[in-house]
Structure 1
Amino acid sequence: EQLLAGSVDGTFATHGCTPAYCTILSIRGEVLHNHAHDQVVQNGDIVLLDAGAEGASGYCSDVTRCWPVSGKFDAAGAEIYDIVLQAELAAIEAVRPGVRYRDLHMTSARVIADGLAAMGILRGSVDGLVESGAHALFFPHGVGHLIGLDVHDMEGFGDRVHYAPGRERSTQFGTCNLRLDVDTAPGMTFTIEPGIYFVPAILHNDEFRQRFGDQVDFDRCEQFLSANGGRGFGGIRIEDDILVTDDGHENLTAAIPKERAEVEALVGTA
């Protein structure tokens, strides 16, 4: 992992940039903001890279992509990857001036709930799964954040800046981690970054198992937690930087491949 992370940071340097934040590169994708690069990648692993460059202008990027070390996702990995990609694309497609950012989050949440239900991991209607928060056991963070001169722009100002007047953070697990709840406006730039993760500490939580026992197939979850010879499935996240325009949006990082066939084809080509 440290060799791979070093190649990323070195590429930034060759283009006159520095890392916008500590590069996250890990086969333990279920560990959010994992800055350790201490694992050896093996066939069966999924490498998650969350990285961004800061240029001479001071502006930052923040992008996440995932690759299967073997060059091809297994059947379950392919399903999870496609759900996350559709969750990201659906939220991006909804971006235009005047949209509530929380609604973008819920757009991704609904796609994830629907996809996991189709896989038999979740049980019930999409409305019921999202209302109860069952989906958040697998998507425990917000769909993104502001980005600009800092990778989490103006985050030091907290909810005074990131939540519109009269809006408060949810108290529901997962949704409470939404960093932004304002109406979008032209010139605003933020990330869209849904993900699906199989986190032992969440899926083995006794309170969650009791509360969501009717909506989550925890036995099915164990298959993911013990997958890959006990190394676990990990997690998949896909992230792009989105600019709100006068009549819609522009994906500033669209040139970076993310279709499943594209990322599979890239493995081993360096």
Structure 2
Amino acid sequence: MNVLIVYAHPEPRSLNGALRDFAVRRLQAAGHRVQVSDLYAMRWNPLIGTQDSLAFEAGQRFDVSMASKQAYESGTQSADIAAEQDKLRWADMLILQFPLWWFTMPAILKGWIDRVYACGFAYGVGEHSDRHWGDRYGEGRMSGKRAMLIVTTGGWESHYASRGINGPIDDLLFPIHHGVLHYPGFSVLPPYLVHRAGRTDAVRFTAICEALGERLDSLASTPPIAFRRQNFGDYEIPALTLRDDVAPGRSGFGAHVE
């Protein structure tokens, strides 16, 4: 399997850095081919701008989606964007690894998504009609590929429980799982979570690695989160709301999981 790890932490000697190195070793030992996009080490530019299109004309109004689509279709994207898209095409498995900062991914990783997920590549694809509203939410360029998050938090596991003060972790990660990953077609595996990251000693680190190793060993067989697919009958099109007979009485994020 080809595995791409997109890694977002500024300190290589951190717990995240150690887990990334462990993951690479474990995957390679199992015969997988691994690439790592270390965003801080790469000095990745997270800001969308006119520099993303080599053919953008000075003085022209900058329409983000249109400029992105034109650059993608004409082969005039900046080299850094095109290189990351090539890695995604190559990958059978995408792992996004990051610390949970202010209830979401670090800005540099969000900026990777913003720029690499170009219009025509990760969104804005497929037929849009009264029966099919684009190739997304279970369809799209990333169909047939798998994805998983490796996430560390500073808080306790109980802080992210169903009644925890930070909110349920599944709800916090829903925009990433459902939006960033399921939207362009990935089959999304349950995340690997490490809570109380700042309270990790050698004994606990060994246990964390053992559990992570088990998850990495089963990447191909772990059942994905059962997100509903947009164009397969559960949703009214073009309203894109669940049909009345689907998950009656349910609403919110959980209604979009079978």
After TM superposition, the score normalised by the length of structure 1 is 0.26
Kindly indicate whether structure 1 or structure 2 has the higher relative contact order, using CA contacts under 8 Å at least 6 residues apart. Answer: 1
Give the TM-score, by structure 2 length: 0.27
Report the structure number with the largest CA radius of gyration: 2
